Structure 1
Amino acid sequence: MPFAVYLLGAAIFAQGTSELMLAGLLPEISGDLNVSIPAAGLLISAFAIGMLVGAPILAVATLRWSRRTAMLAFLVVFALTHVAGALTTSYGFLLATRVAGAFVYAGFWAVASVTAIELAGPQSRARAMSILAGGLTIASIVGLPAGTALGQHLGWQSAFWAVAAMSAIAMIGVVFTIPGGRSATTPELRQEFRAMRNPGLWLAYGTTALSTAAILAIFSYLAPLLTETTGLPEAWVPAVLAVYGVGALIGITSAGRTADRRPFTTLTVALIGLIVAAIALALGAGTPWLAVPVIVLVGAFGFAINPAVNGRVFSLAGSAPTLAAAFNVSAFNVGITVGPWLAGLALDAGAGYPSVGWISALFGVLALGTVIVAVRLRAPAPEPTYASTT
């Protein structure tokens, strides 16, 4: 695997820390800006909305740019939005900076995904994407608890400054490892749109959105769930979030080694595991010795879905991957938007934090349904043959 693929994963780590760290900072932001925890949780959804819109727009706008130039431009804007967010005392302005930062982060994801796939070659698509998404997983192990600890001790603004600094470092890595020229094959917008007609591609997007909603319904409210329902001291929250990230790393690494050969098997096992873990959390959230291991399993099974569904999208996109990758980023963020939103509605209605487990399980069942439909609609070829042609 080319070193540049790992560098792109490191850049995703820098930006992904911002995407994830708000789950551990909701109490601090809520108290500092005088808003409710569900309102603070909307900052997570706002970030997702920015990514939802940004991915396809920026993929088209930068289609003929050098990929290095595009990624550098996205990183510069991303860093500046975090500087602005750290300086504000307005909830509304912070919400706007989250949307703007996410807009360019989505562009980075789309361009970096195509670059990583191209560098890795057609037989290692899922593995390359597992490395790229592994940056996000490591962000959950290191960036999320570190950001939470910074927020608890130095104010939530300090975590924003840290993200801006890491983004600047990522720019240096992109300059020195990513080729500056344009792709050998110039993308054609008409060909990109033609590839989007594949119904199997939209089923894959459905799997992406629903499985992501299942994860985020739980993840977005882990901090208050742990303190208010499980009964853990606030100081333990970063540690639990870190072991959640360890589970996620194990899941995404394991699935990255199987998803190229057995995409549907990987998806089915991961989704069933996520559903079972979500139900166990709903039933046992008040028992620390049960809740913490189950949270680790949510991370493991939830992130195991990622390389399989990413590899599947690129396999179906064929020779026109840029727009397909962008819409997959959008699909992820449909899930990131809907999961916390629906969970927040349940919490506002007084359902209690264990309800997020039931909501997660429901999304997981729906995602499994899209996989079953996709298996029945695909060409009757053995799974390894299907994966090798993708």
Structure 2
Amino acid sequence: MAGFLFPDEIKEIRLSAATHNPDSGLPTWLIVFALAMGGFGIGTGEFAIMGLMPNVAQDLGVSEPQVGHLISTYALGVVVGAPILAILGAQLFRRQLLILLMPFYALGNLASALASNYESLLLFRFIAGLPHGAYFGVAALVAASLVPVHKRAKAVSQIMMGLTLALLIGNPLATVMGQSMDWRYAFGFVGLVSLLTAVLVTLFLPKNPQEQRHSPLSEIRAFNKPQIWFALAIGAIGFAGMFAVFSYLAPTLLEVTRVDAAWIPVALVVFGLGGFVGNLLGGWLFDRLQFRAVGVILVFSAMILSVFPSATGSLPVLLVVCFLTALMVALGPALQTHLMDVATGAQTLAAASHHAAFNLANALGPWLGGMAITAGFGWQSTGYVGAATAVAGLMIFLVAWRRPEPVPEAR
């Protein structure tokens, strides 16, 4: 349906897969490791503040919903930076662009670690978000080009594994670091990982003179396809529910479940484990169901998020629901691979915009959740907010799914 491809588009995707990796003397897994390391650093930088929300609020003298605005500001940086940097970098080789993006990310996070007040931290979180989407988009294209076409979703999920390992390991580690020392050390750690990634990409990702590049204007022209916009809308709205819950998980544990702060890293590990499994599940589902996998994931997500509020009174039940909620990460590789199918001629811009859309979700989720909390509905109301956005995403999916297939032109 929405994943229809013209013959020439299929040819371009297969050509990319066949030509990216010239003989470099290095195994492919080293390239994947280097790219996933960047995902680990970016994921840790994005999510660290969620586990440290009470610490940041106390240190800067602001409320926890105001700390939620730091999350939204970072997400806004991703939304702004992803298309701009993708367009500006369209004429660069992907290796060059990746090497430039990671020091940029390091700079934003090291500046965040040194922020003197709330206002300067808002600015630095925006700057840190700028290279996020372009990095993940380009890294996913590189990963997909390393394997046969029918294994692209799995390859993309391997790159995204760095992001889910950030949920599983990086975020809890940053939380413990922030609780035992200072929240600023978490962002310093992210800066160092980002610089290490730049070194690894330089060493392991070979140059590819045959790589197809597009002019910025051609990328923009090719981007104007309904299938692309539907996919981006699904990510921006349908994925917001996970962030509505995750962003306020720490205060929910403290204020509703009423457990000791030492349980926050444990809950984050459980959430991260769910994200890790969900990431692999998303690639597996898409390789088998194609675009239909997105609908399956959204239906499951709406069901689990609607259960979240009733689970907050019991720690064991809440941990189980946290794991199930994090399976929503499966949307990532599924939508990313779908965009590769429908965005021929604008793959760099579309791949980067995919992460911009997901960070719109990262901004929308905490904002809507914060509104519900401020209105007096309680910390647990984020689950109902999340279920509503998942249903909205499902409605967009159904519109996209029922849209008539384009009729191929005579070639």
Q: Same fold (TM over 0.5)?
A: yes
1:354 equivalent in alignment to 2:380: yes
2:101 corresponds to 1:77: no
How far apart, in 2, do the equivalents of 1:42 and 1:223 lie? 15
Distance (Å, rounded) in 1 between the aligned partners of 2:285 and 2:305: 24
Q: Say if 1:68 and 1:178, in contact at 8 Å, map to a contact too.
A: yes
Distance, in Å, in 1 between the alignment partners of 2:48 and 2:209 is 34
Q: 1:365 aligns with which of 366, 391, 398?
A: 391
Rounded to whole Å, the distance in 1 between the matches of 2:381 and 2:406 is: 40
> Any idea what SS the aligned residue of 1:232 has?
coil
CA shift at 1:182, angstroms? 5.2
Residue pair 1:58, 1:107 contacting (<8 A) in 2 also: yes
Q: Please say if 1:60 is aligned against 2:87.
A: yes
> Quick check: 2:93–2:213 contact (8 Å CA) kept in 1?
no
**1:172 alignment partner AA:** V
Deviation at 1:179, TM superposition (A): 2.3
Distance in 1 (CA, whole Å) between partners of 2:192 and 2:211 is 33
Secondary structure at the counterpart of residue 260 of structure 1? helix
- In the comparison of the two structures, how many residue pairs are matched? 380
- Taking the aligned partners of 2:387 and 2:163, their CA distance within structure 1 comes to 23
Secondary structure of the residue that 2:291 maps to in structure 1?
helix
Q: Is the 8 A contact 1:281 1:354 kept in 2?
A: yes
TM-score (norm 1): 0.93
The 8 Å contact of residues 55 and 107 in structure 1, kept in 2 or not, is answered as: yes
CA distance in 1, matches of 2:113, 2:76: 20
**Whole-Å separation in 1 of the counterparts to 2:114 and 2:227:** 45
Residue in 1 that maps onto 2:356: 330
Q: For residue 245 of structure 1, what is the amino acid of its counterpart?
A: G
Q: TM-score, normalised by structure 2?
A: 0.88
1:350 aligned partner, one-letter code: G
Which residue among 195, 212, 219 is the counterpart of 2:239? 212
Relative to structure 2, which stretch is displaced further, 83-92 or 43-52?
83-92
CA shift digits 1:60-87 (9 cap, x unpaired): 1111123222222221122122222212
Residue of structure 2 in register with 1:284 after alignment: 311
Question: 2:14 maps to which residue?
Answer: none
Aligned-pair identity in percent equals 34
Residue of structure 1 in register with 2:10 after alignment? none
Contact preservation (8 Å) 2:40, 2:165: yes
Q: Which of 297, 300, 304 matches 2:324?
A: 297
1:136 is matched with 163
Q: Alpha-carbon deviations, 1:310-352, whole Å to 9, x = none?
A: 1111111124311111221221111111111111111112211
Over 3 Å counting, the alpha-carbon distance change for 1:38 and 1:264 in structure 2 is same
> Is residue 341 from structure 1 mapped to residue 364 from structure 2 by the alignment?
no
CA distance, structure 2, for counterparts of residue 105 and residue 327 of structure 1: 10
Give the whole-Å Cα distance in 2 for the aligned partners of 1:357 and 1:374: 26
Q: Does 1:249 align with 2:276?
A: yes
Q: 2:252 aligned with 1:225, yes or no?
A: yes
Instruction: Work out the CA distance in 2 between the residues paired with 1:378 and 1:303.
Output: 28
RMSD across aligned positions (CA): 1.8
Equivalent residue for 2:343, pick from 317, 335, 338: 317
C-alpha contact 1:65 1:182 (8 A) present in aligned 2: no
Contact 1:67–1:182 (8 Å) recurs in 2: no
Deviation at 1:111, TM superposition (A): 2.2
1:181 to partner: Cα distance: 4.9
The one-letter amino acid of 1:212's match is F
1:278 to partner: Cα distance: 0.7
Helix, strand or coil at the partner of 1:354: helix
Does the C-alpha gap of structure 1 residues 378 and 296 become closer, same or farther in structure 2, counting only changes over 3 Å? farther
- Confirm or deny: 8 A CA contact 1:217 1:357 kept in the other structure: yes
Residue 306 of structure 1 corresponds to 332
In 1, Cα distance between equivalents of 2:194 and 2:353: 24
Higher mean C-alpha displacement, 1-10 vs 82-91: 1-10
Q: Are 2:137 and 1:105 equivalent residues in the alignment?
A: no
Q: Secondary structure at the match of 1:259?
A: helix
Whole-angstrom distance in 1 between the partners of 2:235 and 2:147: 22
Which residue in 2 is equivalent to 1:127?
Answer: 154
Distance 2:101 2:346 in 1: 22
Structure 2 residue aligned with 1:162, among 183, 189, 205?
189
How far is the alpha carbon of 1:183 from its aligned partner? Answer: 5.3
Q: What 5-or-longer segments of structure 2 have no aligned partner?
A: 1-26
Per-residue deviation, 1:121: 4.2
Offset at residue 211 of structure 1 (A): 2.2
SS at match of 1:234: coil
The 8 Å contact of residues 274 and 298 in structure 1, kept in 2 or not, is answered as yes
Structure 2 CA distance, aligned partners of 1:172 and 1:249?
Answer: 25
Conserved in 2, the CA contact under 8 Å of 1:51 and 1:102? yes
Kept after mapping to 2: 8 A contact 1:79/1:168: yes
Task: Provide the rounded CA distance (Å) in 1 between the counterparts of 2:171 and 2:204.
Answer: 26
Alignment partner of 2:179 out of 137, 141, 152: 152
Residue aligning to 1:6 = 33
CA contact under 8 A between 1:130 and 1:253: conserved in structure 2?
Answer: yes
Q: Which residue of 1 is the match for residue 69 of structure 2?
A: 42
Question: Which is helix-richer, 1 or 2?
Answer: 1
